[in-house]
A and B are shown apart, each in its own frame.
Chain A
Amino acid sequence: MIFMKKRFIISAIITITAFAFVQSTVITNGPAAKATLGRLLFSDPILSKDHTISCASCHKPRFAFADTSAVSKGVAGKKGTRNTPTAMNLLLSNSFFWDGRAGTLEEQALAPIENPKEMNLSLDEALHRLKDNEKYNGYFKEIFNSEPTKENLGAAIAAFERTLETSDSPFDNWKFSNDSTAVSSAVRRGFVVFNAKGKCVQCHFGADLTANEFRNIGLFNGKNLDDSGRSVITGKAGDIGKFKTPSLRNIAITAPYMHNGLFKTLEQVIDFYNDTKKIVPNAINKDSLLEKPLGLTKQEKTDLKAFLISLTDKRFRN
């Protein structure tokens, strides 16, 4: 009898514990739940034609949600045409993709699913798959009180992307937290170069170190560099070769750089800006800001690099 009682108590404890665990892992309504669902979708190849690619295949979490290749490979090994930008720190952005073709994060989130060079899956087919999937169908019903739709699929992924904010770098600790020991003297000197002789701040001004504008930095010559960028969207000749100025947060871990992944290192990027003509002599429609060489010394380049590295969030620092 005592033995039976013990068994009953143990079973009851296990049942209660299991119930509590299930309750804690179930997705419940609210903004956080949307983001949790978005996180699942972001990493799930269910949204690609051949079930091999997810958003996270190219937006790699370890590399600040960017890719380490110049251009990423989509389904069936198809190569994209532009470098995968980071999916972090987009909360303050008002346009998305290198050419700014999406006006909202929701719109942006859906585009790679249909892109033939990326996930190559029609949205109708994607929604069909999610409806057929008991787990996802249940989550959508619970969170959105609806089966999966184009709108709530975009909303969930966008909600997750909005959680990918970073504000705990040595630079943040120096400037926001007023911790004078957070950065080295090289970083301080580099910040001076960034704001003055390097002219970086003129385009990289803002909380995410981007003014969210479109600029032609001299990587369009109509020959081997023939991506006309923003002008495809606006139809304006003046926008030829312009691309969105990217955030510099976590830049040290998001190589390669530029819209085409042309430069493998920060040194190469700094050398390019120091004298753009040396690297691309025949650029078309280049921003006048970069017309004259900057004339940075070796020390200034080293300091500028130290400053850029100081923008790496704590979560990515060893």
Chain B
Amino acid sequence: MKILFLSFTLLFFFTPNDTLTGRWESRPSEKGNVTGVFFKPDHSLEGYVNKKPFTTGTYDFDPKDSIISFVDNGCNGVRAVYKILFFSNSDSLRFRAISDSCTERKNGMERLILGRVK
């Protein structure tokens, strides 16, 4: 019984409890650049272009409303809140800003369309 309880507890903590955890990438742009984000289970995130890390931060995701709140190292610690719009059986996503005062990041985020890396 103890083992069963422990298993359930471990499953609860280590199974991705949302549709976001994992690696997501864009299609190659006209110039061939691929942008990606790795949402880690420990609530840290890594953004990259062509396998080169360009941003790092932490996030919280509310799967009920598909709302992500995060800070990264690119915008002076300014927190951003976005609604994630999942589509294609939750295999693709895009971001819609709820609040982000960092204009450059906002412009980049709203252009992104990412697909789950399998």
- Residues of B that sit less than 8 Å from A by CB: 31, 33, 38, 40, 46, 48-56, 73-74, 76
Contacts and interface: CB of A to CB of B under 8 A. Distances in A.
A175 B49 contact: no
Given A175-B46, A176-B48, A178-B40, A205 B54 contact: yes
Nearest to A175: B53
A167 B34 CA distance: 13
B38 to A, nearest CB: 7
A208 B49 CA distance: 9
A171 B53 contact: yes
Q: Give the most central of A171, A202, A205: most B CB within 10 Å.
A: A205
B26 to A, nearest CB: 13
Contacts of A202: 76
Interface in A263-314: none
Interface of A: 91-92, 165, 167, 171-172, 175-176, 178, 195, 201-202, 205-208
B48 A207 contact: yes
26 contacts: A91-B31, A91-B50, A92-B33, A92-B49, A92-B50, A165-B50, A167-B50, A167-B52, A172-B51, A175-B46, A175-B53, A175-B56, A176-B38, A176-B46, A176-B48, A176-B51, A176-B52, A176-B53, A178-B40, A195-B56, A201-B73, A201-B74, A202-B76, A205-B74, A207-B53, A207-B54
A175 B33 contact: no
A165 B34 CA distance: 14
Given A92-B49, A175-B53, A195-B56, 9 more contacts: A91-B50, A92-B50, A165-B50, A167-B50, A171-B53, A175-B56, A178-B46, A201-B73, A207-B52
